[in-house]
Amino acid sequence: MELTTVWFVLIAVLWTGYFVLEGFDFGVGILLPLLGGDEAERRTIAATIGPVWDGNEVWLLVAGGATFAAFPEWYATLFSGFYLPLFLILLALIARGVALEYRNKSDSTRGWDRAFFWGSLGPALLWGVAFANMVRGVPLDADHEFTGSLLTLLNPFALLGGAATVLLFTLHGAIFLTLRTTGELRRGAARIARTLAPITLLVVITFLVAAGGAGRPLRWAAVALAAAGLVGALVATLRGRDGWAFTASAVAVVAVVAALFTGLWPNVLPALDPANSLTVTNAASTPYTLTVMTWVAAIFTPLVLAYQAWTYWVFRRRLTGAH
C-alpha cells in the first residue's frame, strides 16, 4: 500500500476517534439545558465529561497536524477556503473549555452554562457543514484556491449535513449520559435518546444517500452499518442495556465517518470542476516526509491509545449528585 493511501486512512481514523469521543462531549453540552433541572444536576452532567473532554480534543489537534504534514496542499486550501467556519469552531471550543473549567469556580453558573451549550452546538453543526462541503465539492481554481464565499458553503446539502451531525452527536451524548448517571438524570437521558433515535436515523441516512457514491460498495456498506448502529442503539436503549446502546451509537458514528471518507477517495478535496480537485497524489508531501511520519506514528500512537483507555477505565463509574 502506498504511503499516501496509508496516511489518508490514518487521517480518517483520527477524525473517527475525534467524532466518537468529542461527539458525546458535544451531545452532553447540547443536552445541559434540557436535562439539568437544578444546579446539582447540571454539575453532575458537566462532571461526566470533566476528566476526559480535553483529552478528546487531542484527536482534533493530531488530525490537523497530520493533515498539515502529510497533505500540505489539502491543509492550505481547506483552512483558507473554510477559514470563517473553522475560526468559529475554534472560538466555540475555547468558550466551551473555559466554561467547563470556570463554572465550578464562580458564584453564578448561568453564563458559563450558556457558553457550554453554544460551544457544543456550534461545532456540532459546523463540522457537519464542513464535511458535507468536502464530500460535495467546492469551487477551486487551477491553483487549488477556493473561489467561493461563506454563502457557497451554506448550501442546502451542507445544512443537511450540519443537522445530521447535530442529531447524531446529541443522541450519542444522551446515550453516554444514560451510561454515566443514575436516577432521574439517567431516565431523562434515556427518554431523549428514545425520541431522538428515529429522527436521527432518518436525517443521517438521508444525508449519506444524498451524498451519492454510486459504484462504491465499501461506502454503501458503511451507510448500512450506520443505519444498523442507530437501530441497535434504539433497541438497546429500550431494553435498558446502556453499555450496548453506547457501543451501537459509537459504531454508527464510526460508520458515518467511514462513509464520508470512502466517498472522498481518491480525492481529499474535490472541486466542482474535477480537473482542479485535490487528490492523495497532488496534495501529498514527499515520500521521505511520509516515511518519517509513519515511523513516528507507529511508535507513539499505541502509547496515546493506551493512556486514553486507562483514563476512561479510571473514570468509568456512574455519577450521582453526591459526586
pLDDT in tens, 143-170: 888 888 888 888 999 999 999 999 999 9
Q: Is residue 74 part of a domain?
A: yes
CA 216/CA 304 separation, integer angstroms: 33
Task: Tell me, yes or no, whether 310 lies in a domain.
Answer: yes
What average pLDDT does range 123-130 have in this prediction?
94
Query: Is residue 221 in a domain?
Result: no
Does 255 reside within a domain? Answer: no
Residue 53 lies in a domain: yes
C-alpha to C-alpha distance for 13 and 7, rounded to whole angstroms: 9
For the segment 220-238, the average pLDDT, to the nearest whole number, is: 94
Q: Say if 146 falls within a structural domain.
A: yes
The model's confidence at residue 307, banded by pLDDT at 50, 70 and 90, is confident
pLDDT at 47: 85
Domain tally for the chain?
1
Q: Which pLDDT value is given to residue 319?
A: 66
In a domain, 283, yes or no: yes
Structural domain contains residue 207: no
Report CA torsion sign: 14, 20, 25, 31: positive
Quick one: DSSP state of residue 104?
G
Q: What is the DSSP letter of 139?
A: -
CA dist., res. 222 & res. 5, Å (int): 19
Domain that holds residue 80: 3-194+266-314
C-alpha cell recorded at residue 150: 461563506
